[in-house]
């Protein structure tokens, strides 16, 4: 069966358009709600910036998802492709519902943090509840260990790690959204290459939604992702790393399960080095600072824009290894 680009391309384009066109509406809405990022000690912007990106990105993705669902009720492509996609949807309908609910919940949690600055413990509890719902729905990492408890714990830890890793990378214009776009694109290609077209379609929609937001955020920002956006991007990327079957009877390569680590090497490495740095200074790991890779590159002489481009290039390079892995 040929790769159904007639599904993937519209999914990305609809998500892109929905994200880009809804952002001006969300900018006005969040200003009225007081969801703005004020200038401060570690900030590079000089005026309050609306935290509208996450809501716009979610809007674009949901529009693409709705369009895809509507398309499944019509034979819009060849019967073989349509049957394969419908088979995937029917088998994973419950899991899809949980994944959509998780995206909504994670965005809401981040939006509440944007508005009220939740305590770290409260925010972590919300993240854990969403991650637990995903794991309990059967979307799990196994790592060849036949233990439900092991897979549950590893899955929850993975989602929590990625959500916070992308939250940490949201420190310069375009960095978090760009890394999320690159990662989701690689997961889309990996899923499509294995014939997992439903997963690929969702991933390409994530790519499109982030692509629609990026011109509003990079290189000059007119809106920020906010915690609603960084939580959503981290959640999506974590889930997209779980959904594809990197190891199967058709592809019996155990090392292929390490592919997500290559795709996500940059945000994960940044998380590790920042946590170690804060631990050595006796600083709580959840208290922000300027010791991320992006800040180190700027202190080395790069402009913020070039620092972001370097990290994008690094993520693209490590992700390419996953395609050859």
Predicted local confidence at residue 74, as pLDDT: 66
Query: Does 42 or 304 have the greater pLDDT score?
Result: 304
- Assess whether pLDDT exceeds 70 at residue 2: no
Rounded percentage of the chain residues whose pLDDT exceeds 70: 87
Predicted local confidence at residue 88, as pLDDT: 63
C-alpha closest to that of 257 among 173, 107, 145: 145
Predicted local confidence at residue 41, as pLDDT: 58
β-bridge pairing 49-50 and 36-37: antiparallel
The pTM for the full model equals 0.91
- The whole-number average pLDDT for the span 161-183 is 96
- Assess whether pLDDT exceeds 90 at residue 232: yes
Phi, psi of 50 (to 5 degrees): -65, 135
- The whole-number average pLDDT for the span 106-132 is 95
- The whole-number average pLDDT for the span 228-251 is 83
Return d(Cα 273, Cα 266) in angstroms, integer: 11
Over residues 191-223, the pLDDT tens digits come to: 998 888 888 999 999 999 999 999 999 999 999
Over residues 248-265, the pLDDT tens digits come to: 555 556 566 788 999 999
Return d(Cα 112, Cα 200) in angstroms, integer: 30
Over residues 282-316, the pLDDT tens digits come to: 888 888 888 999 999 999 999 999 999 999 999 99
- The whole-number average pLDDT for the span 176-198 is 93
Predicted local confidence at residue 277, as pLDDT: 92
Query: Does 304 or 144 have the greater pLDDT score?
Result: 304
């Amino acid at each position: 069966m040929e790769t159904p680009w007639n599904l993937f391309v519209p999914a990305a384009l609809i998500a892109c358009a929905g994200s880009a066109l809804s952002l001006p509406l969300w900018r006005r809405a969040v200003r009225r709600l007081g969801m703005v990022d004020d200038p401060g000690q570690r900030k590079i912007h000089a005026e309050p910036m609306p935290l509208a990106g996450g809501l716009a990105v979610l809007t674009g993705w949901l529009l693409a998802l709705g369009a895809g669902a509507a398309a499944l009720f019509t034979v819009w492509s060849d019967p073989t492709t349509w049957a394969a996609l419908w088979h995937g949807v029917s088998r994973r309908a419950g899991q899809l519902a949980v994944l959509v609910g998780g995206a909504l919940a994670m965005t809401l949690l981040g939006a509440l943090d944007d508005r009220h600055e939740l305590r770290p413990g409260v925010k972590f509890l919300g993240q854990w509840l969403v991650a637990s719902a995903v794991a309990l729905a059967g979307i799990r990492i196994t790592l060849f260990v036949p233990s439900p408890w092991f897979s549950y714990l590893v899955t929850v830890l993975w989602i929590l790690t990625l959500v916070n890793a992308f939250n940490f990378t949201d420190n310069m214009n375009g960095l978090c959204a760009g890394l999320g776009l690159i990662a989701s694109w690689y997961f889309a290609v990996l899923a499509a290459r294995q014939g997992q077209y439903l997963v690929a379609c969702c991933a390409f929609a994530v790519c499109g939604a982030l692509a629609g937001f990026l011109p509003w955020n990079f290189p000059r920002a007119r809106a920020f992702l906010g915690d609603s956006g960084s939580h959503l991007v981290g959640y999506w990327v974590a889930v997209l790393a779980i959904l594809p079957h990197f190891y199967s009877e058709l592809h019996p390569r155990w090392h292929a399960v390490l592919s997500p680590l290559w795709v996500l090497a940059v945000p994960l490495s940044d998380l590790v080095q920042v946590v170690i740095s804060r631990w050595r200074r006796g600083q709580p790991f959840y208290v922000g600072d300027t010791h991320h890779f992006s800040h180190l590159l700027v202190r080395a002489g790069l402009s913020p824009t070039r620092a972001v481009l370097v990290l994008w290039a690094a993520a693209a390079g490590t992700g390419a290894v996953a395609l050859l892995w």
